[in-house]
Structure 1
Amino acid sequence: MARVVAAKENAAVSDVLILTTGGTIDKLYFDALSTYQIGESVVDRVLRTAQVKLPYRVAEVLRKDSLELTDDDRALIAQTVADAPERRVIITHGTDTMTHTAQALAGLRGKTIVLVGALAPARFAESDATFNLGMALATAQVAAPGVWIAMNGTIFDGLRVRKDRAANAFVAVD
């Protein structure tokens, strides 16, 4: 089950649940010759730095690169979302298989679920992570129930999007 990492004080029930699963957003690199590791999530620090006042809760589900996620991992993510009291859920996720997880969440009803990731780790000065996380937080507050992906300054229907590796961006599909 998810482990609570941080929660805003005085929030009996949070408005938004943020589940962390790993991916580039939380990657650490030690030097040019090292392989990456997925470190402790930076989500709470990023939101505190941005002075977010909306009550939220952060819980870690996994710490994996999305290419390593299994069907069982996706089932765990879906069950965690289903069991959560919050109706608004953000999931930090690696970009390579984000759309697969969106498909696995499609059957959940009554929740606004936003998947978000980064093309560069949040710990890097020139990262899209902070902007993407802000977009996800805004989307979670205003979008209708369903599955959404917040990437590249755009909100996508989570079931009608793909990652274009050549363009290093997400694009809508019909």
Structure 2
Amino acid sequence: MLILNSGGTLNKRYNSVSGELEVPYDNEVIERILSSVDSEYNLAGVVYKDSLEMDINDRKMLTNIIMESTEDTFIIVHGTDTMHITAEFLSEIFDDRKIILVGAMNPFEIDNVEASLNIGMAIGYAKLVQDYGIYICMNGHVEIWNKLEKNRAKGKFEIVG
């Protein structure tokens, strides 16, 4: 299993100089979450961005890493605003991998329970699921990417159609 960090809200930290939440260029949050488990996971930082800033080149970079990897199971830590765009992009390319996109509605720095739960669920699901596919893991759900959507009005992901 390879965990790819692309940034997003889960990773954001408060910058006391600028007064803003920023996506730092490190994997500190995910490393802290993984330190509480008894297994070793490969972790690679790929793109450190808010998902609204991600573009086709970032998605191609994720794709290339997945294509070149000997792994067949991936967890992508991703921002929630464009998670579905990346999931759809990946679904058009891969049918021979398990890829779970995961994020958080609040930064780990503000709510470490949500971020930890979501990553833990993604890891557990990745170990359990037999079927290849592109999945989203958010708010206590893990579903094929087009069955789970962000409800912006409610501030959470919900099962659809």
TM-score between the two structures when normalised by the length of structure 2: 0.91
- 1:76 aligns with one of 57, 61, 68: 61
- 1:129 aligns with one of 115, 118, 126: 115
- Cα distance in 2 for partners of 1:125, 1:66 equals 19
* Cα shift at 1:36: 1.7
Task: Give the match's secondary structure for 2:4.
Answer: strand
Structure 2 counterparts to residues 81-96 of structure 1, below 5 A: 81-96=66-81
- Cα distance in 1 for partners of 2:109, 2:125 equals 23
Amino acid at match of 1:108: F
Aligned to 2:160: 173
Is the 1:65–1:94 contact (alpha carbons within 8 Å) kept by the matching residues of 2?
yes
The structure in which a higher percent of residues are helix is: 2
* Cα shift at 1:35: 1.8
Amino acid at match of 2:54: L
Q: Is 2:53 the partner of 1:59?
A: no
Aligned to 1:142: 128
Amino acid at match of 1:124: I
* Cα shift at 1:109: 2.3
Structure 2 unpaired stretches of 5+: none
Is the 1:120–1:127 contact (alpha carbons within 8 Å) kept by the matching residues of 2?
no
Q: Is 2:94 the partner of 1:108?
A: yes
Q: Is 2:105 the partner of 1:119?
A: yes
Q: Give me the identity figure in percent.
A: 35
Aligned to 1:13: none
Closer/same/farther in 2, CA of residues 153 and 140 from structure 1, 3 Å limit: same
Which 10-residue stretch deviates more, 94-103 or 82-91?
82-91
Aligned length: 157
Which 10-residue stretch deviates more, 122-131 or 63-72?
122-131
Q: Note the aligned Cα RMSD (angstroms).
A: 1.6
Structure 2 counterparts to residues 1-16 of structure 1, below 5 A: 16=1
- Cα distance in 1 for partners of 2:79, 2:61 equals 16
Structure 1 unpaired stretches of 5+: 1-15
Which 10-residue stretch deviates more, 143-152 or 124-133?
124-133
Amino acid at match of 1:128: E
Which 10-residue stretch deviates more, 133-142 or 37-46?
37-46
Is the 1:160–1:173 contact (alpha carbons within 8 Å) kept by the matching residues of 2?
yes
TM-score between the two structures when normalised by the length of structure 1: 0.84
Is the 1:78–1:104 contact (alpha carbons within 8 Å) kept by the matching residues of 2?
no
Q: Is 2:83 the partner of 1:98?
A: yes
- Cα distance in 2 for partners of 1:121, 1:26 equals 6
Which 10-residue stretch deviates more, 107-116 or 86-95?
107-116
